[in-house]
Structure 1
Amino acid sequence: MLSFIQSSNLKNGVDFLLINENKKITQLKNNEWNNYNFGIFLLGENITLTLKCNRNKKEKEFGHLKIKTSHLWIKHSSSKIDCSQLGYPSNQGPGKGERGRYGRCGGGGYGTKGEENDEQGGEIYGEETLLKQIHFGSGGGDGSAWIQSSGGSGGGIIELIIEQQLINHGSIQSNGGSGSRDGDAGGGGSGGSILIELQCQSQSHSNKLEQTFGTITCIGGNQNKINEGGKGRIAIYGIELSADDILKIDPKPFNRSYK
């Protein structure tokens, strides 16, 4: 596939996306489809494919990455597609973390409840198929003013339509952020949503290409802390996943061979 696109008149960044450079951050369009008919190939090390998303203004922009492509190849473990912390900011979202005793706040909830001893963790919402509803992760709770802590943001949304082959030796992630002062005060944000559709199995001809799912995560911030953010949701369509396929997928995905 690579030899074909490199020897053709196809244009990098338009017809396909090929990144060979190391330590490269590439931002795609937010909340609209990024179409690469001849594939996305992340071949360098420490590559991050993410979004143009303004998180600095008062009304923070949320990150929703939509990609449709023939092939998605991520060569190195250090490279990733990442929409972490691009969901609801602290104290916001349907599953936002609440303030607990002594200023310590709960983690945001989404696919699972946010954590906190005083039951201040955020609630579960949404549905597992991600077809009727697809949500951003919720933010963790802020501490009181005298503690000066803030909760982590929830994860964003990633939607991938892959027509032929997924080879992921890196990671695809939409994780929640950790609160300031870790587990002491600000709650962790919850993971976001990842929806993957493999269309090759539904085509009329038999597709013999091997799929490699690798590491796919929607986990909460403040990992292993008392106010850890809840997990997000992952759904994968177009193939029946084996036990080996899901070893590095967290949370366990909703899976169906048809959408």
Structure 2
Amino acid sequence: MLSFIQSSNLKNGIDFLLVTEHEQTIQLKNKKWNNYKFGIFLLGENITLTLGCNRKYEEEELGHLKIKTSHLWIKHSSSKIDCSELGYSMNQGPGKGNSEGFGGGGYGTKGEGNDGQGGEIYGEETLLKQIHFGSGGTFGVGGSGGGIIQLIIEQQLLNDGSIQSNGGNGTCGGGGSGGSILIELQCQSQFKQNFGTIKCIGGNGGYKGGDGRIAIYGIELSSKRIFLKCNQSTFSVDFNTNYFFYHKKNHICS
């Protein structure tokens, strides 16, 4: 695929996204689909793919990254797709921490707090009926919750870095809760898939924020191995990740 796009008249940043330089931060459109028909290739070290959000106090924009692409390759462990701390700010959100308990925000799991007064669980685990931002911690300077990452990958995912939407740490206050990560693998090819590290954990602070929610469609889990099923065939999948929820959804495969 790389040799094809480099020898064609396709335009980088429009038809595909290729980043070979190190120490780069790429900001994509917020709350709109970022479509790269011929793939995203993050080949340099210390690359961060994120959103351009206005996070000024009282004008904070919530971050929802939406990507549709044929291929996604994150080559180095130091590179990442990251929407951490782009959810609700401190004292905000459905699972905001309880100020009386110095609590961390809740979402997929309950936030910690004095006498159990952390933020509550909300939303639903499939992320199809509802998809939420992480909630903020409370008291002092609480951490912000994680944002939302939504990926549709038509052919191949090679994640040797990380995909993350973590909650922020609190300063003398509770941590924010992790956000949401929804991946739909449409698996229109027989390429090997590598999910790498995918996480949306709560931030630390006076009390820890709750963890977020992850849902991945187009795969089937077994107790010993993980398989990708498409077109009535089974392919092995490399897998090494922190996760909370996975779902099989065969009709995505074509």
Per the alignment, residue 36 of structure 1 pairs with 36
* Aligned pairs, number: 239
| Partner of residue 135 from structure 2, selected from 134, 138, 149 | 138
> What pairs with 1:155-234 in structure 2 (closer than 5 Å)?
155-180=146-171, 185-200=172-187, 203=188, 207-222=189-204, 227-234=207-214
Offset from partner CA, 1:181-229 (integer Å, 9 cap, x none): xxxx3000000000000011xx4xxx3200000000010000xx66100
Of 229, 249, 253 in structure 2, the residue corresponding to residue 257 of structure 1 is 249
Distance 1:218 1:98 in 2: 21
Contact 1:48 1:80 (8 Å CA) reproduced? yes
Q: In the TM superposition, what whole-angstrom CA distance separates every residue of 1:27-46 from its partner, at most 9, and x where no partner exists?
A: 00000000000000000000
Q: Give TM-score scaled by structure 1 length.
A: 0.88
- Which amino acid letter does the alignment assign opposite residue 138 of structure 1? S
Partner amino acid for 1:59?
Answer: E
Q: Secondary structure at the match of 2:114?
A: coil
SS of residue paired to 1:249: coil
Equivalent residues in 2 for 1:87-102, closer than 5 Å? 87-100=87-100
Which aligned pairs between 1:105-144 and structure 2 lie closer than 5 A?
A: 105-142=102-139
Whole-angstrom CA distance in 1 between matches of 2:158 and 2:180: 20
Residues of 2 paired with 1:248 and 1:228: CA distance?
24
What SS does the aligned partner of 1:5 have? Answer: helix
CA distance in 2, matches of 1:186, 1:226: 5
In the alignment, is the contact (CA less than 8 A) between 1:96 and 1:138 conserved in 2?
A: yes
Retained in 1: the 8 A contact 2:201–2:210?
yes
* SS of match in other structure, 2:115: coil
Shift of residue 59 of structure 1? 2.3
Query: Which of 215, 218, 222 matches 1:238?
Result: 218
Q: Kindly state the Cα deviation for residue 254 of structure 1 after the two structures are TM-superposed.
A: 2.5
Q: Superposition RMSD on alpha carbons, in Å?
A: 1.6
CA contact (8 A) 2:194 2:238 kept: no
Following the alignment from structure 1 to structure 2, what is the Cα–Cα distance between the partners of residues 55 and 7?
A: 40
Instruction: Please list the CA deviations of residues 82-128 of structure 1 after superposition, one character each: whole Å capped at 9, or x if unmatched.
Output: 00000000000000001236xxx111000000012322200000000
Q: Give the conservation status (yes or no) of the 8 Å contact 1:100–1:118.
A: no
After TM superposition, give the deviation of residue 71 of structure 1 in Å. 0.1
Higher share in strand:
2
Give aligned-pair identity as a percent.
Answer: 73
- Secondary structure of 2:3's counterpart equals helix
Q: Match of 1:233, as an amino acid? A: R
Contact conserved, 2:126 with 2:245, CA < 8 A, in 1?
no
Unaligned runs of 5+ in 2: 227-236
Looking at structure 1, the residues matched to 170 and 207 of structure 2 have their Cα atoms a distance apart, in angstroms, of 9
